[in-house]
Chain A
Amino acid sequence: MLKRIYVNNFRCLVNFELTVDSLNLFLGSNGSGKTTVFEVLRKLQKFILGDQAFQQDYKVSDLFASKDLTRWQKSNIQKFELDIQGNGGIYKYTLEIEHQGDYAPPRMRLESLTFDGQPLFNFWVDDAADLGISVGQARLYNDDPDREGAFVPFFDWSRSGIGFIYERPNNLKLTWFKKRISNFFIVQINPFIMESESLKEESSPNWDMSNYAAWYSYLSQESQGKILKLTLELQKIIQGFDSFQNSKSGDVRILSASFTRPSKAAYRLNELSHGQKALIVLYTLIYCSPDDNFTLCIDEPENFLALPEIRPWWRRVMDYCLENQAQVMLISHHPSLINYLASNSGYWFERKDNEAVRVRRINDTGEEGLSVAKLIELGWIYDE
């Protein structure tokens, strides 16, 4: 699981370091940088893996724009670090992006991956003073810590080097890392744009879940057992719900939900209420996630949900994390989640005078007084 994230010079994140656990609730006022952390994770995931849903690779310039440099900083270098625990050790991924003003695209200055200190991949820039130019250098290592890395000539520093490395029998450590990065599901559910039609199967959901039907098409082919579990759970949650149908109509498939009560009827996904769509997505994220080692990052999951639905969903998430070595990071403003989670898993994001984000664990141990949600509502939490 993700243990630590470090970001410098990206929007409001300056020398920002956050150590996380398996269950995490991000709290803070609007504009305090919570969603920005998710955006960094999304960018790094896309940079390393490309967009799996659309089978698209990304250049540095596609993801890292100079407008995302912290406005009050003078440096043109952005730095990102991830520490990920797994595979029996700790992976450290580091990326530095150099912005070159309006007339040249941004480029990588450094990309490295280590496992328990053992290098797996390293890219850096050599300033060849005699030639007056900078040269990108890369070295690729394999699983054997005693073997020297192989020099990679003519390295393209506009893209992630790790993203280009294919799985081989002797680089399983590196490919484990890539698989783990693909197991980050970072979403902000927008039921308004969830369509019923899908042209093809897509192996992962979009940030906004607009491609839910296409993702469902993929899951129904690849993970039938999980879809069955999801269906049985949704029967308990959504009154009268029976099952999904994903039938072919011309070139597309149309995802519908069948209901048995008050009479048998099918409704296309986009005909369901926003709350029902959000429920379907939230339970799909639990039941159809990978079998283990995954991270769910959900921005305001409670939006659109009826009050009695929030806690049962959260309990399911906790159980799933418990059973599957999974991790969850939520951003929420809902008192129900805050009061339930803040004492053990809460992180308070704040920006004094609009400056850089600071984060602290919530560890209020007062005997008396108001609930955490009430303290937040009144602006009394950490108001010293």
Chain B
Amino acid sequence: MTSRDDLPEVTILCEDIDQERFIREYLICRGLDDRKIKDFGNPKGRTIKNNNASIVKHYPALIKSYRSRKYRNIAVVVMIDADEDSLDDRMRSLNIVLDETAGNLNKDPRLPDEKVAIFVPARNIETWFHYINSDRSGQECNEITDYKDKTRTAKERIELAKRSARILAFEICPQGVDRIALPSLRYACRELQRLQF
């Protein structure tokens, strides 16, 4: 009998509850156990204009601790909004804080066997939600417009995040990554291949 201790475990480092619930629900749809998905936590617990500085701050420590126990069946998922920067800029800033030399040479310091996936929604996670919940033709959704709706309650945000994750897992991903019109979401789906349990 398999012990629950042997089940794959994922730690999520992300900016807010919208991202956390989206990733969690997606991983559950892919067969992971809810209790084995841990969130690093919004490190501040504050409503701040952008929380990506704290992701960049905590990312290297998290990966260092991960590396010393990666023999276990564990993985890390990092999500950081691109906001007004590009996906490449965000990836580069994470690479530099993890390994300055490699990062400055535009190299990815993650090793091939490391189950560390980085998702960079551009412009932000609400762009993905908008794309996933629209007709997905790509015509009506771009990565520059800010689709954030600040009037949504916490409940509505969680509901939207979970619904979007289910649509992505069950309707969009089965059609193939190449059919995803939104570049940052397509990139994220390729990153997912790092999490093979």
Contacts and interface: CB of A to CB of B under 8 A. Distances in A.
A339 B45 contact: yes
12 contacts: A23-B154, A236-B33, A311-B38, A318-B158, A322-B159, A340-B41, A342-B45, A342-B46, A343-B44, A343-B45, A344-B17, A372-B45
A20 interface: no
A339 B44 contact: yes
Contacts of A23: 154-155
Contacts of B38: 308, 311
A334 B48 CA distance: 21
Contacts of B33: 236
A365 B51 CA distance: 11
A312 B35 contact: yes
Interface of A: 21-23, 236-237, 239, 308, 311-312, 315, 318, 321-322, 336, 338-345, 363-373
B45 to A, nearest CB: 3
B2 interface: no
A371 B43 contact: yes
A78 to B, nearest CB: 34
A343 B47 contact: yes
A341 B46 contact: no
Contacts, number: 68
A374 to B, nearest CB: 9
A315 B43 CA distance: 17
Contact of A322 (B39, B46, B155): B155
Most chain B CB inside 10 Å of its own CB: which residue of A21, A315, A366, A370: A315
Given A312-B35, A343-B44, 19 more contacts: A239-B4, A308-B38, A321-B155, A322-B158, A336-B41, A338-B45, A339-B44, A340-B41, A340-B45, A343-B45, A343-B46, A345-B154, A365-B47, A366-B46, A366-B48, A368-B53, A371-B43, A371-B46, A373-B45
Nearest to B47: A343
B49 interface: yes
Contacts of A336: 41
A372 B44 contact: yes
B45 A236 contact: no
The 6 lowest CB-CB distance pairs between A and B, nearest first, are A339-B45, A343-B47, A372-B45, A371-B44, A342-B45, A344-B154
Contacts of A339: 41-45
A23 B156 CA distance: 13
Nearest to A343: B47
Contacts of A239: 4
A367 B48 contact: yes
B106 interface: no
B42 A236 contact: no
Contacts of B158: 318, 322
A318 B45 CA distance: 16
A311 B4 contact: no
B145 interface: no
B4 A372 contact: no
B4 A236 contact: yes
A318 B161 CA distance: 14
B50 interface: yes
Contacts of A369: 44
A367 B17 CA distance: 17
Nearest to A335: B45
A308 B9 CA distance: 13
A314 to B, nearest CB: 11
Nearest to A322: B155
Most chain A CB inside 10 Å of its own CB: which residue of B42, B45, B47, B159: B45
A70 to B, nearest CB: 33
Most chain A CB inside 10 Å of its own CB: which residue of B4, B154, B159: B154
A65 B46 CA distance: 41
A338 to B, nearest CB: 6
Interface in B25-46: 33-35, 38-39, 41-46
A237 B17 CA distance: 23
Interface string B152-190: 011100110000000000000000000000000000000
Contacts of A373: 45
A339 B17 CA distance: 12
B159 A365 contact: no
Nearest to B158: A322
